[in-house]
């Protein structure tokens, strides 16, 4: 829980989020989020559906504009920088999307090479070697001429990770890495994240609701519920937490139903009010 | 009660006008950014995606030729038939060639071309970009620090403003040939004389005014198709909705742009 707030002007962590609020129209989704991620750390953002964890991730990569607050990445507040500065920061980060988001009209190799072709002046032959290297790292050597549609779900995820790795990012974001995959393939993706962590000492942020995978890969965990941070701590701290909301999430206890017949009737008739 | 109703109507009209203006503003912004990446970007080290533009030009232009030829040939024939109906009474059948040539190159050539391109390509732009939006590919571009406007819209923009005038010239020719079919079979023209009469009746400004309009149509169709694609919400159903809206809005705006430019040419020509 002990985060310590460094002075706002020069946060030392790789990522520092300060009083982050995000709204869709009138509705506020995140109500003031604060946390730090140290360089080389793997932070897992846990939360149920509709908790705001995906919105938080989208805000961290600059796809969602905060209504207030700051997001410091490598010493720059991405909520306040210009588009060109944001693009400079993004060149040092990579993201693997939930649905992999590979470009369907390009081969796997072209997908991985795209950031290199766009942002570097490397020779084609060098790019070729680099993309093979990246595909090798994610266990997809030899698949550069396949189209994304010819790959299985797990392979698409791996290809997306290879593309996220293309620019040798300092920070890597994962949106639901194991969503829609069978347990064995999902375990393979977890393994891949662990290998990346070990090999490159990258700062890794993972959003997920898979508990097993979260506990396996995380250095620290953040639990988000209804747009607020409920708990933040190491794997052991979270496991031993006595906080009711944490226990409910970790022990997979369903939301209690509306209590009592009277309340139920009042809900139906639209006259539900909290008991004093 | 009545006053409230009136206020309701007024505020609805107000909201409608504001929305429309905001939409036109977004279109203008997207069009300007696409133009920036096409004409200014290459001089500032932002490479123009020529390969992508060429394949778009193939799709937008070359592949549209068969259907466009057929339609404009028939339109030319219809124009000849319609004008002959009146010209015959005046005994001025020799003016059929002039009537067809003028209405094709000043108005119908550019307009019919635009409508065919809206149906084939404006809708395809919205569907392609809309699908990419739904599958997070647009977000992926953003996160990779690649501007979707630079990557996706600019090549389409370039392809459109080059290919639409080309298609329009082709459409004019096919329309005149359609008119010639009537002229030769029904109005005692030979093909050579019909073509000569057509060429003699056209001034350069007739053709140019049509071509300027066609470039503006190209800008309009690209901006609407891409904006609809980029503003697609979640889900496959939304892609369909964007596609339909792209076609409807493009047709409306192309006619409006047509009116504005035709009026401008008319008053400038007299002024």
H or E stretch at B41: none
pLDDT reported for residue A51: 84
A188 is written with which tokens? 């393979």
Check CB contact under 8 Å for B136 and A115: no
A34 is written with which tokens? 């604060």
C-alpha to C-alpha distances, B101 to A180, B186, B204, B216, nearest whole angstrom: 61, 17, 12, 22
| Chain A with chain B: Cβ pairs closer than 8 A | 51
How far away is chain A from the Cα of B18, in angstroms, using its nearest Cα?
A: 18
Q: Is B234's pLDDT higher than 80? A: no
Q: Name the nearest CA neighbour of B45 among A141, A77, A120, A143.
A: A120
- Separation CA A220–CA A233 (nearest Å): 5
pLDDT reported for residue A2: 41
Confidence band for A95, pLDDT divided at 50, 70 and 90: very high
* Cβ contact A29:A147 at 8 Å: no
Each residue's pLDDT tens digit, A42-68:
999 988 888 888 889 999 998 988 998
How far away is chain B from the Cα of A92, in angstroms, using its nearest Cα?
A: 9
Check CB contact under 8 Å for A114 and B145: no
Residue B187's φ and ψ, nearest 5 degrees, are: -125, 25
**Residue of B136, B141, B152, B234 to mutate, testing the A interface (most A Cβ within 10 Å of its Cβ):** B136
Which of B105-109, B133-137, B232-236, B251-255 is the most confident on average? B251-255
pLDDT reported for residue A247: 84
* Cβ contact B155:B225 at 8 Å: no
Give the ipTM of the model, two decimals please: 0.84
Helix ranges, chain B (H): 2-35, 50-60, 65-90, 96-103, 109-117, 123-134, 137-143, 148, 154-186, 191-201, 204-230, 236-270
Least confidently predicted of A86-90, A252-256, B154-158, B190-194: A252-256
Least confidently predicted of A2-11, A246-255, B259-268: A2-11
Each residue's pLDDT tens digit, A262-273:
666 666 776 545
C-alpha to C-alpha distances, A190 to A216, A221, B118, B140, nearest whole angstrom: 8, 15, 47, 21
Each residue's pLDDT tens digit, B8-58:
888 899 999 999 999 999 999 999 999 999 898 888 877 778 888 999 999
**Residue of A97, A113, A119, A176 to mutate, testing the B interface (most B Cβ within 10 Å of its Cβ):** A97
Each residue's pLDDT tens digit, A231-240:
888 888 888 8
C-alpha to C-alpha distances, A148 to A15, A155, A268, nearest whole angstrom: 32, 9, 48
Q: Find chain A residues with C-beta within 8 A of B136's C-beta.
A: 97-99, 101
Longest CA–CA span in chain A (Å) reads: 73
pLDDT reported for residue A7: 44
Check CB contact under 8 Å for A101 and B139: yes
From the list B137, B143, B147, the residue facing A95 with the nearest CB is B143
How far away is chain A from the Cα of B217, in angstroms, using its nearest Cα?
A: 28
Neighbours of B257 (CB within 10 A): 17
- The nearest alpha carbon in chain B to A113 belongs to B144
What is the mean predicted confidence (pLDDT) over A128-144? 89
- The nearest alpha carbon in chain A to B47 belongs to A118
Buried/exposed A178-205: b ≥16 CB within 10 Å, e otherwise: beebeeebbebbbebbeebbeebebbbb
């Amino acid at each position: 829980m002990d985060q310590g707030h460094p002075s706002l002007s020069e946060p030392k962590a790789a990522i520092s989020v300060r009083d982050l609020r995000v709204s869709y129209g009138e509705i506020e989704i995140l109500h003031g989020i604060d946390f730090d991620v140290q360089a080389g750390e793997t932070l897992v953002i846990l939360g149920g559906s509709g908790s705001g964890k995906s919105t938080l991730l989208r805000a961290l990569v600059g796809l969602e504009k905060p209504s207030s607050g700051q997001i410091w990445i490598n010493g720059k507040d991405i909520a306040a920088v210009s588009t060109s500065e944001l693009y400079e920061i993004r060149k040092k980060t990579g993201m693997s999307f939930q649905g992999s988001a590979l470009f369907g009209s390009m081969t796997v190799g072209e997908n991985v090479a795209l950031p290199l072709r766009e942002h570097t002046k490397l020779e084609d032959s060098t790019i070729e070697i680099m993309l093979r290297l990246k595909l090798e790292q994610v266990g997809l050597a030899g698949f550069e001429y396949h189209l994304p549609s010819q790959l299985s779900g797990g392979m698409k995820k791996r290809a997306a990770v290879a593309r996220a790795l293309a620019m040798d990012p300092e920070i890597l974001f994962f949106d639901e890495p194991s969503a829609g995959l069978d347990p064995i393939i999902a375990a393979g993706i977890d393994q891949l994240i662990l290998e990346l962590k070990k090999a490159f000492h990258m700062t890794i942020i993972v959003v997920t609701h898979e508990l097993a995978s979260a506990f396996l890969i995380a250095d620290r965990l953040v639990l988000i519920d209804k747009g607020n941070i409920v708990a933040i701590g190491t794997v052991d701290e979270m496991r031993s937490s006595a906080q009711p909301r944490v226990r409910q999430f970790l022990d997979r206890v369903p939301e209690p139903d509306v209590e009592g017949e009277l309340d139920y009737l009042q809900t139906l008739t639209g006259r539900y009010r909290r008991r004093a | 009660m009545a006053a409230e109703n009136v206020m309701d109507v007024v505020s609805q009209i107000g909201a409608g006008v504001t929305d429309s203006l905001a939409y036109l503003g977004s279109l203008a912004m997207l069009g300007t950014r696409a133009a920036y990446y096409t004409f200014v970007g290459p001089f500032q080290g932002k490479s123009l995606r020529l390969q992508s533009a060429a394949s778009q030009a193939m799709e937008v232009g070359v592949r549209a030729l068969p259907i466009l030829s057929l339609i404009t040939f028939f339109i030319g024939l219809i124009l000849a038939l319609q004008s002959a109906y009146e010209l015959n009474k005046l005994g001025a059948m020799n003016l059929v060639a002039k009537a067809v040539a003028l209405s094709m190159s000043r108005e119908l050539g550019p307009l019919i071309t635009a409508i065919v391109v809206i149906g084939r390509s404006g809708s395809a732009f919205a569907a392609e970009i809309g699908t990419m939006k739904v599958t997070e590919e647009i977000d992926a571009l953003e996160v990779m620090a690649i501007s979707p406007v630079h990557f996706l819209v600019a090549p389409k923009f370039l392809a459109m403003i080059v290919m639409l005038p080309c298609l329009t010239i082709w459409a004019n020719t096919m329309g005149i040939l359609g008119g010639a079919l009537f002229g030769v079979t029904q109005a005692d023209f030979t093909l050579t004389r019909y073509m000569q009469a057509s060429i003699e009746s056209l001034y350069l400004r007739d053709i140019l005014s049509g071509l300027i309009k066609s470039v503006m149509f190209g800008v309009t169709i690209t901006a609407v198709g891409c904006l609809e694609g980029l503003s697609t919400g979640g889900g496959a159903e939304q892609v369909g909705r964007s596609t339909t809206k792209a076609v409807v809005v493009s047709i409306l705006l192309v006619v409006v742009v047509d009116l504005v430019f035709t009026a401008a040419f008319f008053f400038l020509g007299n002024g």
